[in-house]
């Protein structure tokens, strides 16, 4: 197993990016407080001013939801110089473009000179009214049109700023389940000559959905699971395009008789059938990218995995397995950063969010390589 703090590649990466090891910021000590910090604290980020864009997406399998649109918010850097690239930024389970962690990461990337596309996945506010249904860990039919638009934007911005390259690089950054979605898209949406993205960062992202389901069902995570379920149920019932009678009956009655107690039960009743899976086990198996990452590494761009060992939601075993495979199979395009602390998408350090700094510096490194190659 990789021993945190003793991995030579981790030290080389930190030195190359010019960042110090992660140190927790008082009073946010421990995995739970690191995880919850953004729920308790609001930061002085600029007012929302992203350009709203609607992208059409097809209907869900089995007719569970008709075609609709996803709401994407485009943020452009204030600098008049050429952008470093375009970053497709995806939120996690129960999130949206409005979540503090996602907005803070977008702001860090904008300050670094990137254009940012903040995606509201199917069913997420503030785009709930634009598409029926809800998203899943594997939603390639929805992400495909988004990535096509993002590539076209890379071409447009390249011409607008007279770039020596025909197109700007397109990167992805996924927070929690957002990283899982982007990984699945890169693994399954094949391109002839190059990966779907030019680089991808996954922060606290589930790689094994069954393991994550078991983790969130632990007694110590009862409050977390209840909070997530309330958000998912509310999001599902708020569908302006309607909810199937069997789904509505299950969601409403289970809230009274406590039949719906876990994320797994929600996925079994809602997510798996909506996205055409045989059952929840079939969904968790096919939508978990862990085993596919090393087997189909040629389909993947340069990857950075950021994972805390004290993450109360996502077990670190998946990231550890990737780290081991990097050494055994010499997968030099993949990098894993394991920290002792940081919680679930926390990484709140002495000088702000250490995770955002790592993501920004790593993508800047890729951008320089892209323009210099």
% of the chain exceeding 70 in pLDDT? 94
Query: Could you say which of 75, 311, 325, 367 is catalytic?
Result: 311
Please give the pLDDT value at position 190: 62
The Cα–Cα gap between 292 and 325 comes to 12
**Token pair 């076209």 in the structure block, residue:** 152
Please give the pLDDT value at position 1: 32
Please give the pLDDT value at position 327: 82
How far is the first Cα of the chain from the last one, in angstroms, to the nearest whole number? 35
Active-site residue, 91 included: no
Q: What are the DSSP calls for 267-311, one per residue?
A: IIIIIHHHTT-SSHHHHHHHT--HHHHHHTGGG---EEEEEETT-
pLDDT single digits (tens) 21-33:
999 999 999 999 9
Active-site residue, 176 included: yes
Query: Could you say which of 176, 205, 213, 367 is catalytic?
Result: 176
- pLDDT at residue 252 is higher than 90: no
Active-site residue, 344 included: yes
- pLDDT at residue 186 is higher than 90: yes
pLDDT single digits (tens) 31-86:
999 999 998 888 888 888 899 999 999 999 877 788 899 999 999 998 878 899 99
**Can you name the residues that pair with 352 across neighbouring β-strands?**
349
**Token pair 């990966």 in the structure block, residue:** 195
Query: Could you say which of 75, 97, 158, 344 is catalytic?
Result: 344
- pLDDT at residue 354 is higher than 60: yes
Please give the pLDDT value at position 299: 83
Pairing of strands 352-353, 86-90: unpaired
Does an H or E element contain 335, and which? strand 334-339
Please give the pLDDT value at position 10: 58
Note the pTM of the prediction, 2 decimals.
0.94
Q: Exposed/middle/buried for 148, CB within 10 Å: 0-12, 13-18, 19+?
A: exposed
The Cα–Cα gap between 14 and 290 comes to 25
State the pLDDT confidence band at 2, using cuts at 50, 70 and 90: very low
């Amino acid at each position: 197993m990789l021993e945190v703090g003793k991995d030579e590649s981790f030290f080389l990466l930190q030195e190359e990016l010019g960042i110090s090891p992660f140190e927790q910021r008082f009073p946010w000590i421990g995995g739970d407080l690191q995880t919850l910090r953004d729920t308790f604290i609001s930061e002085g980020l600029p007012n929302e001013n992203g350009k709203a864009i609607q992208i059409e997406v097809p209907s869900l399998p089995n007719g569970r939801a008709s075609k609709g649109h996803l709401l994407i918010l485009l943020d452009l850097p204030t600098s008049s110089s050429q952008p470093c690239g375009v970053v497709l930024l995806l939120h996690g389970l129960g999130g949206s473009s409005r979540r503090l962690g996602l907005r803070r990461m977008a702001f860090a990337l904008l300050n670094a000179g990137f254009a940012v596309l903040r995606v509201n996945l199917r069913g997420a506010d503030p785009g709930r009214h634009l598409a029926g249904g809800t998203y899943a860990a594997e939603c390639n039919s929805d992400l495909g049109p988004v990535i096509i638009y993002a590539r076209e934007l890379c071409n447009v911005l390249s011409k607008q700023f007279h770039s020596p390259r025909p197109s700007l690089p397109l990167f992805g950054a996924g927070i929690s389940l957002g990283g899982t979605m982007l990984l699945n898209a890169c693994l399954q949406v094949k391109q002839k000559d190059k990966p779907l993205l030019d680089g991808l960062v996954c922060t606290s992202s589930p790689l094994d959905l069954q393991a994550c389901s078991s983790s969130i069902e632990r007694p110590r995570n009862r409050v977390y699971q209840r909070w997530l379920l309330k958000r998912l149920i509310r999001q599902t019932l708020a569908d302006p395009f309607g909810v199937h009678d069997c789904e509505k009956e299950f969601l409403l009655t289970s809230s009274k008789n406590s039949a719906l107690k876990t994320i797994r039960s929600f996925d079994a009743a809602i997510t798996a059938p909506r996205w055409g899976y045989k059952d929840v086990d079939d969904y968790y198996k096919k939508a978990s990218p862990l085993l596919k990452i090393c087997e189909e590494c040629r389909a993947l761009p340069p990857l950075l995995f950021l994972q805390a060992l004290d993450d109360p939601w996502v077990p670190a075993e998946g990231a550890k397995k990737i780290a081991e495979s990097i050494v055994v199979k010499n997968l030099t395009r993949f990098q894993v950063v394991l920290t002792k602390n940081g919680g679930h998408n926390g990484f709140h350090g002495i000088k702000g969010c250490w995770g955002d700094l790592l993501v920004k510096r790593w993508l800047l490194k890729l951008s320089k390589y892209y323009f210099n190659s």
